[in-house]
Amino acid sequence: MIPPDLSKADPKLVGPALDLMTFYADLWLVNKTGQLAHPGDHFYVKVGTPSSWANGSQVILGQSSIDFDLTLKSVNPSDQTAVLIVRHVPPEKSQLTLPAAWMQTPVADTPNNWIQVVKLPGKFFASVGQETFNDELTVSLVDGKILSASMDNPVKTIARMCTDEALMQCDPPQPHEIIRKIQIVLAQ
C-alpha cells in the first residue's frame, strides 16, 4: 500500500489518518498473503522499505523502516470473529538513509529504524531511534470489517536541537520516548 501525499494535509490530521491506515494495511497484508487460517498460525514479512509521514513544511524528514510479524490469535465461530496480532518490528538491517553520522549509533537493541527532523524558526529538531507497533485487530469473518483495533506504539529515541540543516551543529543528545496508545471501535 502506498500512503497518500501528505504535503497538503492539515498537520493535525496526518497522525490520525496514518494510524487508521496502519490498521487497514495490517488487514490487507493478512488478506493478501492468505497464510493465517488456524489459531496460532504465524508468518513474518520482510519489508523494511521506508515509509514517510513528512509533510515537507514542518516535518522535513519523517520515516520508519519496519517488517511485519503476524499471528492469528483466535477464531470465535459463535460470533464469527477473528483476532489478529500484528507486530511492526525493526528489520534486521534498517533501510533508512540517516543524514548525520551521530544517527548511526543504535538507540536500543536493534538498528535505528525511525527518524524525524522538524524545521523550527532558525533550528532543526532531529530525533532518531527504534519504533515498534503492537496491533491487535478484531475482524468480522462475515464481511471483513475491523470491529475494533488497538495499537501500542513505543518510540525510543535520542533527540538533538541543531542549528544547521546538515544536523552537524547540535546540542548534546537527550533521550526521548514517545508512547502512543490508539484504540478504535466500530460504532453500530
Domain residue extents for the chain: 11-185
Using an 8 Å Cβ cutoff, are 94 and 78 in contact? no
| Low-confidence residues of the chain: pLDDT under 70 | 1-3
Grid cell at residue 146: 475491523
C-alpha cell at 133: 507497533
Q: Report the distance separating Cα 166 and Cα 162, nearest Å.
A: 9
Across the chain, which distance is largest between two alpha carbons, in Å? Answer: 61
pLDDT tens profile 144-171: 999 999 999 999 999 999 999 999 999 9
Query: Can you give the pTM of this predicted structure?
Result: 0.87
